[in-house]
Each structure stands twice: as structure tokens, then as C-alpha cells.
Amino acid sequence: MEKQVKLLQGNEACVEGAVMAGVRFFGGYPITPSTEIAEGMARRLPLLGGRFMQMEDEIASMASIIGASCAGAKSMTATSGPGFSLMQENLGYAYITETPCVIVNVQRGGPSTGLPTKVSQADTMQAGFGTHGDYRAIALAPSGVEEILYQTIEAVNLSEMYRTPVVLLLDEVTAHMREKVMIPSPEDVDVKQRRKPTVPPDWYKHFEISPTGVSPMAAFGDGYRFNITGLTHDQVGFPTAVSSEIVAMLDKLRDKIVKNAEDICDYELTEMDDDPKVAIVSYGIVARAAKQAVMMARDQRLKVGAVRPKTIWPLAVNRLRKLLKPVRKLIVAELNQGQLINMIKHHVDRRHTEIIPLQRYDGELITPAQILNKIKEVKHHGTQV
């Protein structure tokens, strides 16, 4: 089949990606600005023999997709701020039970009901640390409609490969804007499946500590008859209070993400080849403005670059440090009061690199002109950079 070109809204691209990645169960509850994803799944899934369920709330939505995944289905939900908050307890259950599933959070202004129809990136931290306890999250952050399609596929793939929930962090603008999308033909899409056990049922351990750090996963009805619990458990899946087993379980949740961070996380670089001393870090919709600002700055012979993490949890820290080594002044632009900036501060050598915030949280976008102004302001201060 040939590649198809379509004009799609971000939320529609997410539906296309989900279907291509093999999602066949969706449980959700309507909320602006994510509703088009539920509507799209309600249309598409029954045609493919899949199942769409409108649940009674987001708590149930999250529960249903975990249940479906335990039964072997690739599953997904989509929501926004208030719904994402309601999902947190069961999201934690997905982390501790290592159950693959995808949660799309189309960010809007908060806290609480906040700004339902306005753009925001104020759930950046929540996407990584929203539920209680120790765990490591994966959260992807596309910045355009076509990328939403590909990152939805990637989110499903990562959830299957690492047996973990994956958050796809969109925002009101990317979710609702329309762009040209090249829809790949199915044979060009790399679709991953969770590893199934090969051992006989008697030997099966649902949470086995394996060399890859990820346990094979049987589904209910496959003949394995195992226990899944949200209590801290041993490798077989029974509740435990033994120190060594507690630590082993928590280390496993951490290590499978941390040790693979450099594989999971990817960056898009703009004009970073000539070692600019001023750069912008931003993600999602803001990174588009940053890219534009860099182009405008270069036209004015200002040496500036931009780094965009495509995955904000986890960051590939080693690569980030290397990338930012020549940078003396780093602008961190985001649609909140400063969340990404704290992660960046944590990883960058601040004796060497000054970190400068550019924040907007009035429900409007940061414009390229705003970023360009910041670049000029930064350039005029202090040393020749």
C-alpha cells in the first residue's frame, strides 16, 4: 500500500497511531481537550473487532485498561488534567504490576478545572511523579500532528517492551491543530509485542527478575494462573514483607527504565552543530516556537541552537550533558511556572552553564518573537557569547 496523505487534527492522528500499533481496547471518559480521541476510538475499534468503552469515570477508565491488558489486549485511555489526576492511583497500580498500557494526557491549564480550552504544560512533573511511591515513568512529548501519530505507536511499543504504563503528553494546541500527515502503510510500521513466557506454567513467575530487567508476561486465560497484586510482591506475585524482596521489586521498577534511558529518550536538535553558546531547551508545542526563533536568530547572524527532548521522562542524561557542554546560557522555555527547568538544573553543570527561564502560563503560547527577544537579551548580557 502507498503512503496516504491526510489533513488530521492531533487527536485524530493519535487515534490513527493507536490503531496501527494494535490498540484494541480503549476505556475512557470525555474531557476537553482530549474528547476527539475517545470519539475516534469509538468509531474505529468496533470496525476492527476491538472494544471501546465509555466508563463511568477516569478511575474506572484506568482500571479497565489495566484489566484488558492483563487479559492480553493492547489498551489505551485518553484524558486531560482533572481526569489524569483521578487516574493516578490506578496508574500506580499499573507501575507496580508492570502492566503495559498507554495514557494520553492532553494538557490544559490547571490546577483543578483550570483552563479547559487553553494550552499548558503544567502537568510535566505529574507525568513523571503523579502517583505515590517510588517508580520511574516514561512520558513522550510530541510537538506536531505527524509526530503524534508516530509517538503514539512508540508509546504502545515502549509499554509492551518495558511492561510499563506509558504517558503520551500532548497539549491543547497540538491536539486540536490540523496538519498534513503522511500515514505510513502498515508494513512500514514496526509494531512490538510483549514477550510471552516460554516456560511451563509451574515455572512461570509473573515478575521474574530476568537478565533484560523485563519479565515475560502471560495473559489471563493462557493457562498460567498467576496472581497480580498492588501490594509489594515477590517474583511469583504474592504479597511480601521480606526486605530483600521489597528492595528487589522496587529496584526492578527503577532499573528497567533508568538503565534504558539512553535508548528510550531521543532529542531533536536544531543548529547545534557549530557549538552555539546560547541554546533553548523546550518540548512539545513550545519547541516549535523555539525552532522558529532559532531560524530567525540565525538569519540575524546570532549563533543559537535548540534542543528538544522528545521524551521528557526519562531524559537521556548523558547525552543531554554532552549536548549542552558548549552552552553557556541555556533558556528553558515552557508553559508553566517552571517544571522542566528543575529537571534541567538537576542535570546540567551550573558553574558552567547559566540557566534562564522563559515561562508563560496565561493559557497562550510562547511566540517565536518572545523567544527571539529572550535570546537577544541573553546575548547582550555579560561575556561575548
Return the C-alpha torsion angle 157, 161, 164, 166, nearest 10. Answer: -20
Size of the site for other proteins (CB under 8 A): 44
* Cβ 265 vs Cβ 299: under 8 Å: no
Which distant-in-sequence residues (6+ apart) come within 8 Å of 380 by Cβ? none
Q: Is 66 in the site for other proteins (CB under 8 A)?
A: yes
Q: Which is nearer to other proteins, 49 or 111 (CB)?
A: 49
What x/- string results for residues 29 through 48 when contact with other proteins is judged by CB under 8 A? Answer: -----------------xx-
Peptide bond between residue 142 and the one before it cis (omega within 30 degrees of 0): no
- Beta strands 304-309; 278-281: pairing state: parallel
Q: Is 60 in the site for other proteins (CB under 8 A)?
A: yes
Residues 133-162 that bind other proteins (CB under 8 A): none
* Cβ 48 to other proteins shortest distance, Å: 9
CA distance 271 to 304: 7
Q: How far from 89 is each of 61, 86, 93, 94, 214, CA to CA, in Å?
A: 12, 7, 7, 9, 23
* Cβ 314 to other proteins shortest distance, Å: 25
Q: Which is nearer to other proteins, 33 or 130 (CB)?
A: 130
| Contact residue for other proteins among 9, 11, 64, 159 (CB under 8 A) | 64
What x/- string results for residues 224 through 253 when contact with other proteins is judged by CB under 8 A? Answer: xxxxxxxx----x-xx--------------
What secondary structure letter does DSSP report for 78? Answer: E
Q: Which is nearer to other proteins, 1 or 241 (CB)?
A: 241
Return the C-alpha torsion angle 60, 63, 64, 69, nearest 10. Answer: 170
Q: Which is nearer to other proteins, 99 or 124 (CB)?
A: 99
Site residues for other proteins per CB under 8 A? 24-25, 27, 46-47, 49, 51, 53, 55-57, 59-60, 63-73, 75, 89-90, 93, 219-231, 236, 238-239
